[in-house]
Structure 1
Amino acid sequence: MSTPWQLQLKGLKSRSQHIFETKQLSDCTFIVGKGNGQRVEAHKLILSMSSPILHEKLKAAGGDHPEITIPDIEPEVFQTMLKYIYTDAIDINTSTVYDVAAAAKTYQLPDLLKACFDHLNAADLTPKNVLQAYNLALHSDNDLKKKCEEFIKTKTKEVIADSSFLEACLDVIEAVFSLDTLDIDSELDLLYAVDRYVVHESRCDRVDSTSVRNVLSKIRFLSLTCEEFAKALTTTTVMSTNDAFAILAHIAYENSGVPMPSGFSLRRDGRKNEKIIAIKPLSEISFEVVVPDIENVLNKKGVWSTIFLLQNLKWKINFRKQTKDSVDYFAIFFHCNWESTSQWSCNAEIEMLLLRADKEGYKKRFTNKYTLNENNCGMGQFITISDLLNPNNHYIKDGAITLQMHMKADYQNYKNTDDLYTTCSNGK
């Protein structure tokens, strides 16, 4: 007489693996996959111990031997999930990891999900797979999410041009369009991408108009000119006439009396992927900024400098027109550490010199304490636009103006990257 398997096998894991493989003592059945599905025998107690979702499904089904239909998961993926539940074995590869991760997320198996994240984090991201990975990591604060976002920020045009973009969930696209930095030529790249998406999804009968509008609301239409926006409207159909009219009014007139569509972005700055100039923590810097095509800048409601570092804090400068008491001024505002969500402060001394060809330039200085809640400060009345554009003052050369900046600050806490656009000199 042979020895019963309960006595042959040592340890709970080996006995659990035995009943997983042989289906002995099974007391529930899952019909997995589309169509007639594949019948999979399992054990209520073990599944209920591992997954709150499976526990609720079993409880809702009731009976001594319930049958539960799960059409939205492939049998191979379901078996991989069960193998993990019974044996702790993680059997994933490049071809199955996305589906297994989705199942682990749905059925609340955090250790299996983490293993999938680790596998994806170690793999190379591509424009074809990054949105699928981002979808899995979207609602978690983890390394995979950060890795996906960095990839998307630097290869945005490739990502939105890939066919995989048309298969992405709208909440993933909304998250992409919410990123502060994207490698795009203008916000029109995003509008055209949404238009392609909606045309594709209309054929699949899966378009949710509310979700599409949520995606559109993340596009910074106010960074466009009237001509750019109007031309885009002739080649796209994704935006309602009422929304388009209101946005166009706000592009044309900053203080338009027409209400902006609810929830739409009010930002007028673009988000072309920019690099940071500093390579070490500096407490004092001098640099030169060239603002090209100054008359167009004033008509476009402003332009941003590239990002730079001072005391390891990110900074960027906004140049724009501002009106006070019916007088138009050239305004300069310094934005500091805008991505932070924790309390901080930074005392800064800033000197600005507008160069001119014939003699010493026009200089102004100010001091300010930048904080989490007050991270944008500068001079709304740096110089009148009439003085700036007056040819007798020789501020403009080849359509551009040049400013020399000298800045001091007393706080440090940020990362750095490479040099672009603004050149830093005489750092101390």
Structure 2
Amino acid sequence: MVRDCVAALAIGRSALNTKDYLYTIIIFFPRLIRASIFFGFHFQSLLQFVRSWFKKACSSCGLFIALICRIKVEGKRIIETTIKELVCWLFFFHAVLQEAIGKQIMHHENVNRDWQNCDDVIKSNAFMLDNQYACDVFFILGNEGVRQGAHKYVLVSRSSVFDAMFYGPMRGTSQEDSAVVIPDIEPQPFLAFLRYLYCGEAGITPENVIYLLYAAQKYAVLGLASKCISFVDQLLDTDNACTVLEQAHIFNEKDFHSTVLALILRKAEEVLAADDVTYLCDECLANIIGSSKLMACEDLILNACLRWAESECKRRSLEVSDSNFRLVLNKILYKIRFPLLPVEVFMEKIVPGSLLTEEEKVDVMSRFIVPNRPSAFFNTELRIAQRQLKLNRFQAQFEAGFNNKSGSNAIAFKVSQDIILEGFTVYGSCRPSELDLEVKGYVLDHKDTIICSVEKNLYTKGDNDLYDVIFDDSATLEKNILYTLVVSIVGPHTFAGKDGRLTTFSHNVAFTFSHSEKSQTGTTVSHGQLPGLIFALRR
């Protein structure tokens, strides 16, 4: 049989009602044979037949269908063995297909006799789409030109753009308007788009959300566009952020791009540590690395760039070396703030190699000696994470467990000058093992309006460390206004603080704490959870 086939179905004598024929249906990858060769022998008839077994014939890899036969002709048995022979048989297959249709093997009545009696119109729509039955318009999709059938009635009923294309001012003068070429949408996301039109099934994933949004906006399907936006708002996380960012960049979805970029900048430590970052294009990586809002230390940023450079070298079939890292990083190299690296990291990772020139190394090392000296090559402005300050309101810590299960922890406070609140700290589990804490927190202003919030799972190690929780968006706090931090913690007992101070100073800012009636766990000014705040000074 032909190599690289991904599925096969043999139809025996009972199906054919004859002893002379045995048909085998095989699905091939398009790289083996050009799909256009097969359009001359009733491709759609064959497609209708096969799709009763293979519901996803038109998938992202651009599959098409060929009919292979083993049949007795004048006492001779012809058995397909090679791709070349297959191509030679195409005219023969045309006759075979006609024979099969004549025996009603591929007649629609034999596929499913009762599908039209279904009370559910959505199921009937799905059947017609999946089986490509009675299609009156065809789309040629993506770079491979994969053919996908549809029905004008459904398209026109769901999209004003399709209405204009087929029956309005956008319709061409030629009567041959049944084939629509769409090179900018690949088969799989377009099929998901069609399924939404036919059945109302969105089928949104991180991999296709931007493609679906693009199709929804292109054809004015506002309901699907809204679902795509909601998907990003609700399910976007550090694991899929880079994938979505890259898609938004490809399709020039500026609003999506801004939304995803903001999340990446806020959750930079998690995003930059993930493998997904290595698949970004150089422009997207440069936008991330160049931002002063990137919430990560410079050595983590450097490591992410080096991992990306290694992957890029492999993509370009280049040797993995410092000189090639410098080549592929190009302008990104100068967005890394080398003067902000810890001295030991620079001496260990950069000085021995050739990522930087000798002149650039001397420039950075000179700034280590004279911190306020400007760099001739690199940005020396502190990123927002490097400007973060921390305040601890307790002087000591309980070793015994603190029960958070009775409700929310809360503490009220005022500040003596305007600041930017970035997050807060919590105590971890007091049990000697790795345990999860589910943390949900928000800050209320004096009108009880939520001004920032976060939900996060923390992995604690049973030690007495404090754990940082950064808000999804920072908030500007005005001086002498009462704010309340409210945090619920789901999980095992935790450590807790004691000997809390009413007023604590940090970097010339006075924090004055007071009891909040929203506290349900026993957290007060003097003891409990919520040991600290994370903030930055206004500039």
Q: Which interval holds the TM-score relative to the shorter structure? A: 0.3 to 0.5
Which one scores higher on RCO, CA 8 angstroms, separation ≥ 6? 1
Task: Name the larger-Rg structure.
Answer: 2
- Scaled by the length of structure 2, the TM-score of the pair is 0.39
